[in-house]
């Protein structure tokens, strides 16, 4: 039985009339930055897309157009390029540097969000070996990070997206419930293909981020390859579990994995059999399998995931 009084109900539904400023952030999105390390004749390329957003002290900017505390988005962009003069390094470290600068140099800045995507380039292989300064874009996955700062606290969520993988066997799907709308045929040998998006939360910034990234990527690929899959969900969990078992600095990992369906083409009208060889690669609709794999004993940190969208 409800014990709420009519007066309480009306207090809960009536507005005081005051309009206030809620959560806000501002900055420059998608600053494209390419840095060439020319310290030796064998150049190194860093190719990133940086978004900087600051939080704090913006009441007057919004209410009155008083910009005295509005660090211009143009200044944020310039800071990104200026910091790159000293090198970019691991994208997580670059984002952490930016956050530290803005929070320490402007006393009203309480925190912010720095998101970086990194595209990788391989050296062109010539008849004389790897070229020193000619590159071919590696169109595999994009590496990502979202670093957020709340006062002195730093939250790092790193990841990858568009890691497209396929197994031509070693995948089954059967035993699912059947009702009057079920037409899917059970299979004990299908193609399993997905484009992995994953993001993992670090519990510390004292990490060799480049080394851990390479390790996490390799573990995900290995688990995808070696798990005999009875469902994409099972493969996803195996990938996450393997990462958490190998990397103590990671508390949890989220996945979003489209099931890129490959349908066997019926060649019977042409008098041909099709022993699992000819497929139609459908692009839509696709199954969408999402989950978080986490350590039971590590406290949740919703602030790390705030504004990191695209997962359940
Ligand atoms: O691995 C799969 N998981 C599902 O939940 C599902 N649903 C479906 O139709 N095919 C598949 N495959």
pLDDT (tens, 9 = 90+) of the chain, 312 residues, equals 445 566 666 666 677 899 999 999 999 999 999 999 999 999 999 999 999 999 999 999 999 999 999 999 999 999 999 999 999 999 999 999 999 999 999 999 999 999 999 999 999 999 999 999 999 999 999 999 999 999 999 999 999 999 999 999 999 999 999 999 999 999 999 999 999 999 999 999 999 999 999 999 999 999 999 999 999 999 999 999 999 999 999 999 999 999 999 999 999 999 999 999 999 999 999 999 999 999 999 999 999 999 999 999
Q: Among 77, 254, 260, 261, which one carries the catalytic annotation?
A: 261
61 is an active site residue:
no
DSSP collapsed to 3 states, the chain:
CCCCCHHHHHHHHCCCCCCCCCCCCEEEEEEEEEEEECCCCCCEEEEEEEEEEEECCCHHHHHHCCCCCCCCHHHHHHHHHHHHCCCCCCHHHHHHHHHHHHHHHCCCCCEEEEEEEEEEEEEEEECCEEEEEEEEEEEEEEEEEEEEEECCEEEEEEEEEEEEEEECCCECECCCCCCCCCCCCCECCCCEEEEEEEEEEECCCCCCHHHHHHHHHHHHHHHHHHCCECCHHHHHHHHHHHHHHHCCCEEEEEEEEEECCEEECCCHHHCCCCCCCCEEECCCCCEEEEEEEECCCCCCCHHHHCCCCCCC
- Whether the CB of 173 sits within 6 Å of ligand 1: yes
User: Distance from the CA of 232 to the center of ligand 1, in angstroms?
Assistant: 7
Q: Which of 165, 171, 176 to mutate to test the pocket of ligand 1 (most atoms within 8 A of CB)?
A: 176
CATH numbers and ranges of domains, the chain: 24-151 (3.10.270.10), 160-311 (3.10.270.10)
Q: Is 190:168 a contact under the CB 8 Å cutoff?
A: no
101 is an active site residue:
no
Q: Is 171:186 a contact under the CB 8 Å cutoff?
A: no
- Whether the CB of 231 sits within 6 Å of ligand 1: yes
Cβ neighbour number for residue 260 with a 10 Å cutoff: 20
> How far apart (Å, rounded) are the C-alpha atoms in residues 19 and 292?
37
73 is an active site residue:
yes
| Residue 178 token pair | 């059947």
pTM of the model: 0.94
User: Of all protein residues, whose CA lies closest to atom 4 belonging to ligand 1?
Assistant: 231
Q: Among 43, 61, 73, 205, which one carries the catalytic annotation?
A: 73
- Whether the CB of 232 sits within 6 Å of ligand 1: yes
**Which residue shows structure tokens 């993992």?**
200
Cβ neighbour number for residue 180 with a 10 Å cutoff: 5
User: Distance from the CA of 259 to the center of ligand 1, in angstroms?
Assistant: 7
User: Distance from the CA of 225 to the center of ligand 1, in angstroms?
Assistant: 18
- Whether the CB of 236 sits within 6 Å of ligand 1: no
């Amino acid at each position: 039985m409800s014990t709420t009084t009519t007066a309480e109900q009306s207090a809960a539904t009536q507005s005081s009339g005051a309009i206030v400023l809620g959560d806000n952030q501002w900055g420059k999105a998608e600053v494209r930055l390419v840095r060439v390390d020319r310290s030796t004749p064998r150049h190194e390329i860093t190719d990133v897309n940086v978004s900087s957003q600051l939080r704090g002290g913006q009441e007057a900017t919004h209410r009155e157009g008083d910009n005295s505390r509005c660090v211009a988005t143009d200044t944020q962009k310039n800071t990104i390029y200026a910091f790159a003069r000293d090198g970019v390094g691991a994208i997580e470290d670059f984002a952490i540097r930016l956050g530290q600068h803005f929070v320490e140099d402007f006393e009203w800045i309480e925190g912010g969000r720095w998101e970086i995507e990194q595209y990788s380039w391989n050296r062109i292989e010539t008849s004389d070996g790897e070229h020193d300064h000619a590159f071919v874009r590696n169109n595999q996955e994009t590496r990502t990070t979202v670093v957020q700062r709340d006062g002195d606290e730093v939250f790092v969520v790193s990841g990858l997206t568009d890691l497209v993988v396929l197994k031509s066997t070693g995948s089954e799907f059967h035993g699912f419930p059947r009702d009057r709308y079920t037409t899917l045929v059970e299979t004990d040998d299908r193609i399993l293909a997905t484009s992995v998006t994953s993001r993992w939360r670090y519990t510390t910034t004292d990490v060799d981020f480049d080394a851990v990234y390479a390790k996490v990527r390799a573990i995900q690929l290995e688990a995808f390859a070696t798990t005999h899959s009875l469902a994409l969900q099972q493969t996803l969990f195996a990938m996450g579990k393997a990462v958490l078992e190998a990397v103590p600095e990671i508390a949890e990992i989220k996945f979003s994995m489209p099931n890129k369906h490959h349908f066997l083409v019926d060649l019977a009208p042409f008098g041909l059999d099709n022993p699992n060889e000819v497929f139609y690669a459908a692009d839509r609709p696709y199954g969408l399998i999402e989950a978080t794999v986490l350590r039971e004993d590590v406290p949740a940190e919703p602030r790390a995931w705030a504004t990191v969208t695209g997962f359940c």
